[in-house]
Amino acid sequence: MTTSPTSSSIEAGTRANAEAARWMTVAREWHRGRQRPALIDVQPMESSVVQLYDPADDLARRARTWNYEIVSGDLSDLARFGAALARAEGEAWASDRGHIATRAHEDRRFLLGDRILHWAVPWLDAVARQYPNAAEAANTAKSTLLDLGELHRPAPALSGTEGLVVPGFDGFGPLDQDASFETIMLSVWGGTVLLNGYLADLLGRPMGERRLPDGWDSLPGVLPALEATFTAAAGRWDILAVSRPGSAQLWRDLANRARRSAAKLGRWKPYRDISDEENWSS
């Protein structure tokens, strides 16, 4: 025997459908077909922004449980998946299948917390600062994702006593990487997103490839400019952690990473003056 949805189910379904529309605004605005310079600079994908981790297998697993296909794994693609999960929740509530609706809600929460917020918000923040013509769209998308974070609360601040984080790790991953500091700086795991356009301005040369060239640390003003960039980023993440409690732990962790990078840059000595080991031991 089928049952009619209750008033609470109808309300929950209405909220889920409204949320789907919010996801779709992000998906449409950041579709690669729009050809914004920011989309060409550093692609809005976790693998590009993090660099030290590729989520392809995890995304495929999450999508497979819903018979959904992740095409590119970029911000637009993941936002479409979020919208699809929200619509699935709405449809499940409408047919009084609460267990399906609950699963769609939880899977969306984990998608947001595990695979989107930690890299997409810093990427959008960097885009808004580097590309004035894209600033409004970037800030709007960032606010939408953070609003969804307040709705789902995937990463509220921890008191430090819960025992949920493995020693040597934070919400982003391992604190110490088997990679050069230059590589870490070009990952959001360093504490912020350094876009190609930013590096070109910093180094005073066009960048065909997003990297720090040999001798970067000997160029006049580069070390203090990078130190200031990471210090400023830490301050922004601190403010975000206070204003967005639903995802605060991510921004606390990112602020700490940015401070670590700034401190290392403050102690850094050009490679031409010292051995490689001395920078790593500093």
Q: Each residue of 25-48: pLDDT tens digit?
A: 999 999 987 767 788 899 999 999
What is the pLDDT at residue 281? 47
Report how many domains make up the chain: 2
Phi, psi of 205 (to 5 degrees): -155, 150
Structural domain includes residue 165: no
Q: Are residues 202 and 123 in the same domain?
A: no
The answer to whether the CB of 11 falls within 8 A of the CB of 101 is no
Query: How sure is the predictor about 209, in pLDDT bands with cuts at 50, 70 and 90?
Result: confident
Q: Are residues 116 and 187 in the same domain?
A: no
Helix residue spans in 34-176 (DSSP H)? 37-41, 46-50, 56-64, 75-94, 98-115, 117-130, 135-152
Measured from the Cβ of residue 281, the count of other Cβ atoms closer than 10 Å reads: 7
> What domain range is 266 assigned to?
181-281
Tell me which of 73 and 35 has the higher pLDDT: 73
Give the span between the Cα atoms of 152 and 225, in whole angstroms. Answer: 37
What pTM was computed for the model?
0.91
Q: Are residues 186 and 146 in the same domain?
A: no
Mean pLDDT check: name the lowest of 60-64, 108-112, 142-146, 166-170: 166-170
Q: Are residues 148 and 185 in the same domain?
A: no
For residue 267, give the nearest of 279, 255, 257, 256 by alpha carbon.
279
Query: How sure is the predictor about 104, in pLDDT bands with cuts at 50, 70 and 90?
Result: very high
Q: Are residues 138 and 32 in the same domain?
A: yes
Query: How sure is the predictor about 115, in pLDDT bands with cuts at 50, 70 and 90?
Result: very high
Percentage of residues in the chain having pLDDT higher than 90: 77
Q: Are residues 192 and 109 in the same domain?
A: no
For residue 104, give the nearest of 142, 66, 130 by alpha carbon.
66
Query: How sure is the predictor about 162, in pLDDT bands with cuts at 50, 70 and 90?
Result: low
Give the span between the Cα atoms of 90 and 96, in whole angstroms. Answer: 10
What is the average per-residue pLDDT within 176-203? 94
